[in-house]
Amino acid sequence: MTVYTEKTHVMNTYARWDVTIAKGSGTTVWDHTGKMYLDCTSGIGVTSLGHCPPAVTAKLHQQLDTLWHSSNLTQQPLQEELGQKLAELSGLDQVFFCNSGAEANEAAIKVARRYAQKSKGEDRFEIITFGQSFHGRTLATLTATGQQKVKEGFSPLPAGFITVPYGDVEAVKKAATNRTCAVLLELVQGEGGVHPASADFVTELYDWCKQNEILFMIDEVQTGIGRTGEWFSYQHYGIIPDVVTLAKGLGSGFPIGAMIATEAVAAAFSPGSHGTTFGGNQLATTAGMATLLEMEQQNILPHVKELSQYLLGALGELAKQYSDQIKGVRGLGLMVGIEMNGEVGTYLKTAQQKGVLLLQAGPNVIRLLPALVIQKAEIDQLIIVLKEILELTKA
């Protein structure tokens, strides 16, 4: 493998680590020198079944020898198969397939506006979002995002988005006007610091949206497909939204996104109103279907719930022992944040040196997104390394 150490021809849009991953299997990756790492990032919540899961790999190999891509102008039985499965798991009705989470959220924004304008008039276009949210990097989705840092340098931004404090239903009510068509939120804010929504907030907001005929849309790009211990995070709250967006965990690393909606909302789209060249092609839908079937085969959801308790319990003990450094631990399922009393860059770099890959969510939060197949022994390994780092960095 060629490792580029000087200026390359790739634009400088990522603050890359000094790590080059050459191979992966399960929860383990190896760099170009052969050094082994415990991957607690899963490619930012993507490789939920671990790297190169054999069952998904086998299905992709089979499809590679059959057909990679055909136009969406042709019939797509693999889309129909995956769409039916997602409808069954979600309680919703119809799916639009795309390539990424940002595209899924773009589709949600478009279908919400089109639905509202068809049913209520052309002045219905505003969408309420929340502070510290993250919905993508297209112009529309970064405008919807509740973090100023992603918006700098991209003005003028599209109109039609209002951001209010997360968890504040009264702020939503005050912000709503006769132009409001939808509310868009994450039930666990990932990039914003791993903040799960309270049950009271979600229930009250959901009821208010229903009473006022405002679409309730949930961004499940990071939380969906088993990450929180249910197929979708909203299933913890006993609700069914109007629109859901998916991406990361759906294809085991193969690029795929999806926007799922009720039949009534989906009917707002018609031929020519939205589309994509690559979205839902044969390789992507094969990866998606194989991923879902393998998660069912491995009984992933109970495993995530059990390992989540184990991980949160172990981190809670660390937090007690190192309360001068750890401010708190929070999360849902295997989406966990460790809030530190200072910036976390040094912690992440030291962890890499010790063979563990970690993420951050904002300057002060260590974010854990391990593969959903992680085992207790690997969590024990993680805890040992975290403890060593905390000892090294004690005041």
Q: Output the known binding site for pyridoxal 5'-phosphate.
A: 101-102, 134, 219-222, 277
User: Would you say the C-alpha torsion 139, 143, 144, 150 has a positive or negative sign?
Assistant: positive
What does the alpha-carbon distance between residue 276 and residue 281 come to, in Å, rounded to a whole number?
10
User: Would you say the C-alpha torsion 298, 301, 306, 311 has a positive or negative sign?
Assistant: positive
Say which residues have a Cβ less than 8 Å from residue 270's Cβ, sequence separation at least 6. none
In whole angstroms, how large is the CA radius of gyration of the chain? 21
What does the alpha-carbon distance between residue 227 and residue 25 come to, in Å, rounded to a whole number?
19
User: What residue has token string 């031929």?
Assistant: 271
Helix 282-297 to helix 54-64 angle (10° resolution) is 150
The residue type of 236 is: H
What does the alpha-carbon distance between residue 333 and residue 315 come to, in Å, rounded to a whole number?
13
What does the alpha-carbon distance between residue 225 and residue 289 come to, in Å, rounded to a whole number?
12
Residue numbering of the annotated binding site for N(2)-acetyl-L-ornithine? 137, 276
Structure tokens, 136:
């993508």
What does the alpha-carbon distance between residue 162 and residue 145 come to, in Å, rounded to a whole number?
10
CA angle 236, 238, 240 (to 5 degrees): 105
Beta strands 21-25 and 28-31 are antiparallel
Residue numbering of the annotated binding site? 101-102, 134, 137, 219-222, 276-277
> How much of the chain is helix, strand and coil, in % rounded to 5?
40, 20, 45
